[in-house]
């Protein structure tokens, strides 16, 4: 057993690497730039954490969310891998102590926000230590074509300016080829090695329905079918998350709301209650779920239209990370699209407004489509897959219709046989539809066992079957 496999087993507790992980680890160890697209739950953290344990210096991880950094640092420190962050949530003394630990080379991982790299003082600190490599998490934020563009990420092009020999490892769960190219160019990556896992998640059962009223009855029906399972429900507003959590509690479910308006202590309590299974359901805005360390989430519900297919794909990817079957349920209304358009017009720089509107349109088309849900998602990310057949509402509906058609075809053939194979299509259809026309009555075909068996179908429908 070589060293990386020993670390994989002894430190991280895994017997084997998952898809692409070993190749990414080897590329990082070879000190090359890398761009990796792994779906949510695909194990991207291990890809950049393991190589650091085979190196002597510090790895700098750039992440957009403080909550995500906190989760990662907590997990690493529990593995006795000393890690810390510099953030606005910490007081000056705590940040100063972290910097001292960094300069003494006591840290294996230092987590920072992208804004921190805009500080020349901080760049100066980094020049005084041995850096293994930079990790840029949620790298799609660097791209103007991505679904969560952040201007502060654009400043990360400075890394290659100041540290031309230090590898950069960019990671994201969602990126089209256009976004991948923009990430590589924006970060000045040098001949980066690309790794991209398939987007299909064959343990997710997807269902999309028009929302009736506020959707609460539909959600209750879903939860009754999937009784006893734990999951996340995403809402459009903070108020909706509070209201729905209260409604679910009134109906006997252990649920809590989670959104950006709650203080850190309350959010942490909700997070821990969910992870340690004191509650079954978190009703949240999109502020919840990134980097959550819980593999047995069995369902994800959206009560309204997500902004983009990228957001949707990332959020549903939080279900079924243990490989077991999980369920995805989306409720939408045309009014959601209108609200999202207003949000885009108000919140996004005019340069990128059209990108936001185009992505919203793709999301809405997904909802109203009658094609395989998995195939639509895969095609959006430029993957080619077969239709899922049984893992989405559209394919299941089609399969049921095909079964029904085979039953109707049997009825049609039976009517031909029982009328002694002497009559044309229109006459057979009249028998099945229970017609009282003179010719049919004269031959006594109103007494056949198949008479009237197809009365619920129109003449045109029977003609199509014939």
Length of the chain: 466
How confident is the model at residue 199, as a pLDDT?
Answer: 80
- Render pLDDT for 122-157 as a digit per residue (tens, 0 to 9): 999 999 999 999 999 989 888 766 666 777 888 898
- The model's confidence at residue 388, banded by pLDDT at 50, 70 and 90, is confident
123 and 238: one domain? Answer: no
Predicted pLDDT at 398: 61
Q: What is the tens place of the pLDDT at every residue in 396-417? A: 886 555 545 567 777 888 888 7
Same domain, 399 and 384: no
Question: Are residue 269 and residue 231 in the same domain, yes or no?
Answer: yes
Query: What is the domain range of residue 144?
Result: 3-196
Average pLDDT of the chain is: 88
Residue at which a domain ends, from 161, 196, 231: 196
Compute φ and ψ for 246, nearest 5 degrees. Answer: -65, -45
Instruction: Write out pLDDT tens, residues 200-217.
Output: 788 999 999 999 989 999
Q: Could you tell me the pTM of the whole model?
A: 0.74
In a shared domain, residues 383 and 354: yes
User: What φ, ψ does residue 124 adopt, rounded to 5°?
Assistant: -60, -40
**Torsion angle (degrees, nearest 10) of CA 228, 234, 239, 243:** -20
Boundary-marking domain end, from 196, 218, 236? 196
**Residue 192 carries which DSSP code?**
P
Residue 173: closest CA among 213, 203, 139, 202: 139
Q: Under a CB-based contact definition with an 8 Å cutoff, are residues 199 and 378 in contact?
A: yes
> In angstroms, rounded to a whole number, what is the distance separating the alpha carbons of residues 71 and 76?
9
CATH number at residue 267: 3.40.50.300
Mean pLDDT of 348-363: 82
Tell me, yes or no, whether 385 and 400 share the same domain.
Answer: no
Average pLDDT over residues 238-253: 96
How many domains, in total, are found in the chain? 3
271-326 pLDDT tens trace: 889 988 999 999 998 767 666 768 899 999 999 999 999 889 989 989 998 889 99
Question: Do 381 and 245 reside in the same domain of the chain?
Answer: yes
384 shares its domain with 399: no
Same domain flag for 368 and 404 = no
Count helices and strands (H / E) in the chain.
20, 13
H/E element, 60: strand 58-62
Q: Is the pLDDT of residue 236 over 70?
A: yes
Tell me which of 402 and 341 has the higher pLDDT: 341
The pLDDT assigned to 416 comes to 85
Listed residues 391, 407, 422: the one ending a domain: 391
Residue for token pair 């997500």: 306
7, 21 contact by CB (below 8 A): no
Which residues 6+ apart lie within 8 Å of 404 measured at CB?
A: none
Residues 187 and 218 in one domain: no
């Amino acid at each position: 057993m070589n060293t990386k496999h020993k670390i994989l087993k002894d430190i991280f507790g895994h017997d084997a690497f998952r898809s692409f992980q070993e190749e990414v680890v080897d590329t990082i160890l070879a000190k090359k730039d890398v761009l990796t697209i792994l779906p949510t739950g695909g194990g991207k953290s291990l890809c950049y954490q393991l190589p650091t344990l085979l190196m002597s210096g510090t790895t700098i991880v750039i992440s957009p969310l403080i909550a995500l950094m906190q989760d990662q640092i907590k997990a690493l420190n529990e593995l006795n891998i000393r890690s810390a962050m510099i953030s606005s949530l910490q007081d000056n003394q705590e940040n100063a102590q972290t910097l001292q630990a960094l300069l003494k080379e006591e840290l294996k991982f230092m987590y920072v926000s992208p804004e921190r790299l805009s500080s020349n003082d901080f760049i100066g600190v980094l020049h005084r230590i041995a850096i293994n490599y930079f990790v840029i998490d949620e790298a799609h934020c660097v791209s103007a074509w991505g679904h969560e563009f952040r201007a502060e990420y654009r400043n990360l092009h400075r890394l290659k300016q100041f540290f031309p020999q230090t590898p950069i490892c960019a990671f994201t769960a969602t990126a089209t080829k256009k976004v991948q190219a923009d990430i590589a160019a924006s970060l000045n990556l040098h001949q980066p090695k690309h790794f991209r896992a398939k987007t299909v998640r064959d343990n997710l059962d997807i269902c999309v329905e028009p929302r009736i009223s506020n959707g609460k009855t539909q959600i209750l029906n879903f939860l009754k079918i999937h009784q006893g399972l734990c999951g996340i429900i995403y809402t459009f507003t903070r108020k909706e998350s509070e209201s729905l959590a209260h409604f679910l509690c009134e109906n006997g479910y252990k649920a809590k709301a989670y959104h950006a308006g709650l203080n850190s202590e309350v959010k942490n309590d909700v997070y821990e209650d969910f992870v340690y299974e004191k509650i079954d359901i978190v009703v949240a805005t999109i502020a919840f779920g990134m980097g959550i360390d819980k593999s047995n989430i069995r369902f994800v519900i959206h009560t309204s239209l997500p902004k983009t297919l990228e957001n949707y794909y990332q959020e549903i990817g939080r279900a079924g990370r243990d490989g077991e079957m999980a369920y995805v349920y989306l409720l939408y209304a045309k009014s959601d699209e209108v609200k999202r358009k207003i949000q885009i017009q108000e919140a996004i720089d005019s340069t990128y407004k059209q990108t936001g509107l185009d992505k919203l349109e793709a999301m809405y088309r997904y909802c109203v489509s009658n094609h395989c849900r998995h195939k639509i998602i895969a095609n959006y990310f430029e993957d080619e897959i077969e239709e899922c057949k049984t893992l989405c509402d559209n394919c299941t509906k089609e399969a049921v219709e095909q079964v029904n058609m085979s039953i109707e075809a049997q009825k049609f053939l039976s009517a031909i046989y029982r009328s002694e194979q002497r009559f044309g299509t229109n006459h057979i259809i009249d028998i099945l539809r229970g017609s009282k026309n003179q010719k049919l009555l004269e031959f006594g075909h109103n007494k056949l066992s198949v008479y009237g068996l197809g009365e619920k179908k129109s003449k045109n429908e029977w003609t199509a079957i014939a």
